Amino acid sequence: MNLFLQQLVNGLFIGSVYGLFAVGYTLVFGVLDILNLAHPAVFTLGGLTALWLVETAGLTIFQAFPIAVLIAGLLGLLLDRVAFAPLRHRADTYFSGLISSIAMAIMFESVALGVFGAHTVRFPANTVTPTIWRFAGITVTSLQVEIVLVAFLLMVGLTQFLKHSRTGKAIRAVAENERMARLLGIHVDRIIAFTFFISSALGGAAGILFGLYFDAMSPDMGRSIELKGLAVIVLGGMGSIPGAIAGGLAFGLSEVLTVAITGTSNLRDAVAFAVLFAILLLRPSGILGRSRMREA
Amino acid sequence: MVHLTYFFAVYGSLINFIGINVLLALSLYVTLSAGQLSLGNAAFAGIGGYTAGILTTQFGVPYLLSLLAGALMAAIVGFLLGMPVLRLRGVFLAMATLSFGEVVRIAAINLKITGGAEGLLGMPAYTKTWFIYLVIAVVGYFLSRLRYSRAGWSFESIREDETAASAMGINTIYYKTLAFTIGAFIAGLAGAMYAHLNYIITPGEFGFSAAVNLLIYCIVGGSRVWYGPVFGAALLTALPEILRGIGVTAGPIRMFVNGLILLIVILFLPNGLISLFQRRRKVAVSVLAGAGIGDN
């Protein structure tokens, strides 16, 4: 029973990182109907930049975190300017946008590879000194709690921002109908650029938390979360922020529970993709998504 | 003659790999020609490869028969998969086929008969270079004839506008499934030939990055005519060797160049590098067709 509870708690921690990653992924999709496959590469570069700031520039993780998040956000602006903005008015924009985001992902990954090398790197041992708490037979470290707190703070902050702020409302207006938003005097291109900034900043933050949690980062670490992130946003409903958060948690839990039940990690990802596949066929709008024709 | 023998000794395996990749790119070309973005063709190659490999190593089936069996197996799976997933459009079809591919990969890792994560071993090297290129010639001839057949025109009209094609009385479900199944057949054939080229096949070779590579071949070459993907696959497979010839040996730079080529092509040559070599009139027409007024 304790082991089961422990697994649930672990699932919650990793699920919150998945959720944070997926929120940024789904935000861009919700606004532009474009799948940004460079998001995982920004995730990687965010984590590795924070590492560089801690290791080489000698900052603490609490200083490095906001700087790395900002840099990840700037990468988002770059993505928009180079890969998405030029294609925006093409008829096949969803298709060409997908391809150009793949191109950017390849280039980002090659930069990570060139700068950091192909090996696994980790934050120095004293970056965070976690306290370990045990109660009711469950072990929780302060690092894990901090990760969940940061992840949820960012996700709740984004939700509130989209709901109440003027810019947030503009983002939702562009998501609803780009042409109408333009007619209403919203500076659509600036709003889209800003959306990319937020999305990538959140992706970078997820990369840092991921690196701290697993204590291992490499230039291809984005690939391991890329497909999971897709599964999460489909599960939650493409473009739905609460759906991405719930999907992330559900995904984290399903992962640890599959391992706990089958006793091996071999089938961990199989469950996820089987679920993704089933949802696409049975309820393409996702669990929390609004229903509409699945036409991109 | 001596030079030719030397050239072949050095580049023989590269020439074989180019041939296999050309076939795989052609398999995706068929699906793309009907406007369907599939990321499942690498998995179909895996199904063909494993089927043929198991048949020759464990049941002593003759080579040609095993190729046919591998291709047919992939086509049957493609047909069964195509019926439900082809209802999805655009990115959602890509994600469904992608998750199918992941399920196939994970199955190959976990099944006993496929040799698990270490892969399937011991296939005799039956596939000869002349045979690969003979198959390419046959497939290329078939596809060039297909293009101007009833099915080819139907593919084209579905690609341009599925709703309009359906309104014109084209059985879109039938023709989409047909394109998908032909693509799976060619991919399965290529996979089966690849299995008998290399002594070993592993699940990782047929994963997500392989699927994305096929898409890149088609886009860079140009997916409007059958020889576009041939050109793209040949160029990008040989690119590492070409770059090494001009003195670039660092892996990250090669990767960066790959990404850069893809980005430049999608931004400036939406019909691929092959459109540079086509007659000017044709180019102008297709650019007009590709640059319709953007509207979501």
Residue-wise pLDDT tens digits, B89-123: 778 888 889 889 988 998 898 888 888 888 888 88
Percentage of chain B beyond pLDDT 70 is 93
Q: Do B294 and A91 touch (CB under 8 A)?
A: yes
Segment among A45-49, B111-115, B153-157, B264-268 with least mean pLDDT: B111-115
The residue with greater pLDDT, B90 or B128, is B128
Mean pLDDT of chain A: 85
Percent of chain B residues topping a pLDDT of 90: 55
Indicate yes or no: CB of A269 within 8 angstroms of CB of B106: yes
Average pLDDT over residues A205-215: 90
Q: Do A272 and A251 meet the contact criterion of CB atoms below 8 Å apart?
A: yes
pLDDT at B142 over 90: yes
Please give the model's pTM, rounded to 2 decimal places.
Answer: 0.87
Of A91, A99, A280, the CB nearest to B292: A91
Contact A248, A15 (CB under 8 A): yes
CA distance B188 to B288: 35
Tell me which amino acid residue B136 is: I
pLDDT at B294: 35
Let me know: does A59 contact A221? Beta carbons within 8 Å: no
Chain A interface includes B249 (CB < 8 A): no
Count of beta carbons in the 10 Å neighbourhood of residue B223: 24
Burial class (CB in 10 A: 0-12, 13-18, 19+), A119: exposed
Interface contacts A/B by beta carbons within 8 Å = 141
| Closest listed residue to residue A205, CA positions, set A64, A60, A93, A107 | A64
Q: Tell me what percent of chain B is helix, strand and coil, each rounded to the nearest 5.
A: 75, 0, 20
Nearest CB to B91 within list A94, A269, A270: A94
Shortest Cα–Cα distance, B95 to chain A (Å) = 8
Bridge partners (DSSP) of residue B201 are B120
**pLDDT value for B113:** 87
Q: Which of A56-70, A152-166, B65-79 reaches the highest mean pLDDT?
A: B65-79
- Tell me the pLDDT tens digit for each residue of B168-208: 999 999 999 999 999 999 999 999 999 999 888 999 899 88
pLDDT tier at A276, thresholds 50, 70, 90? confident
A226 and chain B in contact, CB less than 8 A? yes
d(CA B286, CA B294): 16
**C-alpha span between B67 and B30 (Å, rounded):** 20
Q: Which of A96, A110, A273 sits opposite B259 (nearest CB)?
A: A110
Q: What is the pLDDT of residue A293?
A: 40
Minimum mean pLDDT range among A22-31, A120-129, A211-220, B145-154:
A120-129
pLDDT bucket at A289, cuts 50 / 70 / 90: low
pLDDT over 60 (residue A62)? yes
Q: Residues 59 to 118 of A: which have CB under 8 A from any B CB? A: 82-83, 86-96, 98-100, 102-107, 109-111, 113-114, 118
- The pLDDT of residue A89: 81
Q: How is chain A split into domains, by residue range?
A: 2-282
**Are the beta carbons of B102 and A227 closer than 8 angstroms?**
yes
Q: Is the dihedral of CA A102, A108, A110, A116 positive or negative?
A: negative
Is pLDDT above 80 for B276? yes
pLDDT at B289: 47
| Residue pair A231/A251 in contact by the 8 Å Cβ criterion | yes
The yes-or-no verdict on residue A218 having pLDDT over 90 is: no
Maximal CA-CA distance, chain B: 61
Judge whether residue A182 has pLDDT over 70.
yes
Query: For the structural domain made of A2-282, what CATH number should be given?
Result: 1.10.3470
For the cut 90, the answer to whether the pLDDT of residue B283 exceeds it is no
Q: Is B64 in a helix, a strand, or coil? A: helix
Q: How far, in Å, CA of B142 to CA of B160, rounded?
A: 22
- Residue in B closest to A238 by C-alpha: B92
Q: B287: pLDDT confidence band, cut at 50, 70 and 90?
A: very low
Distance from CA of B134 to the nearest CA of A (A): 31
pLDDT at A287: 57
For residue B40, give the nearest of B179, B161, B238 by alpha carbon.
Answer: B179
pLDDT digits (tens, 9 = 90+) for B30-87: 999 998 989 999 999 999 999 999 999 999 899 999 999 999 999 999 999 998 888 8
Q: Which residues 112-171 of A are in CB contact (within 8 Å) with B? A: 113-114, 118
Q: What is the pLDDT of residue A292?
A: 47
Structure tokens at B148: 């101007």
Confidence band for A286, pLDDT divided at 50, 70 and 90:
low
What DSSP state is assigned to residue B70? H
Q: Which of B 179-238 lie inside 8 A of A, CB atoms?
A: 208-209, 212, 215-216, 219
- Report whether pLDDT(A296) > 50: no
For chain A, the farthest-separated pair of C-alpha atoms sits apart, in whole angstroms, at 59
Least confident of A174-178, A268-272, B27-31, B165-169: A268-272
Please state which of the ranges A89-93, A189-193, A217-221, B31-35 shows the lowest mean pLDDT.
Answer: A89-93
- Helices (H) and strands (E) counted in chain A, each on its own, are 11, 2
Query: How far is B120 from B122, CA to CA, in rounded Å?
Result: 7
